[in-house]
Amino acid sequence: MAKPEQPESNEFFVNGIVAARNGRPYIQLSTTNGIKVQLSIADARKIANDIVTMCSRTEADAMLIKFFSKEDYPAGAAAAIMQEFRDFRHELDMEPVEGSHSDPDTGENIE
């Protein structure tokens, strides 16, 4: 007889491992029902950065909605300014990243 599937828990775990197969570090995301995903360090950092970015942006959206709901502004004003902020952030996100690497000992740029 098959064991009934347990309901998904609200608990979420983040663990780091070093794989025996290749000695590489990985991050595992899991719940009480098991591992959901295993990520390379680079992928985990990207996702973590995306989460922090979205937290900040969503807080800003909530603040705009709260502000515009307290004052006597025309209907749709909050949505309009929120869209302007989102468009502006998107423009900034699309700017190319100029990077360089420097020698940690000398500070000289490395090409």
Helix boundaries (H) for 1-111: 41-70, 77-94
In a domain, 1, yes or no: no
Answer whether residue 5 is part of any domain: no
Domains held by the chain: number: 1
Mean pLDDT of the chain: 88
* Residue 111 pLDDT > 70: no
In a domain, 34, yes or no: yes
Domain range spanning residue 61?
Answer: 13-95
Residue 25 lies in a domain: yes
pLDDT of residue 101: 73
The answer to whether position 102 is within a domain reads no
How sure is the predictor about 6, in pLDDT bands with cuts at 50, 70 and 90? low
Q: What is the pTM of this model?
A: 0.69
Residue 63 lies in a domain: yes
- What's CA 66's distance to the chain center, in Å? 24
- CA–CA gap between residue 59 and residue 63 (Å, rounded): 6
90: tokens are 């998107």
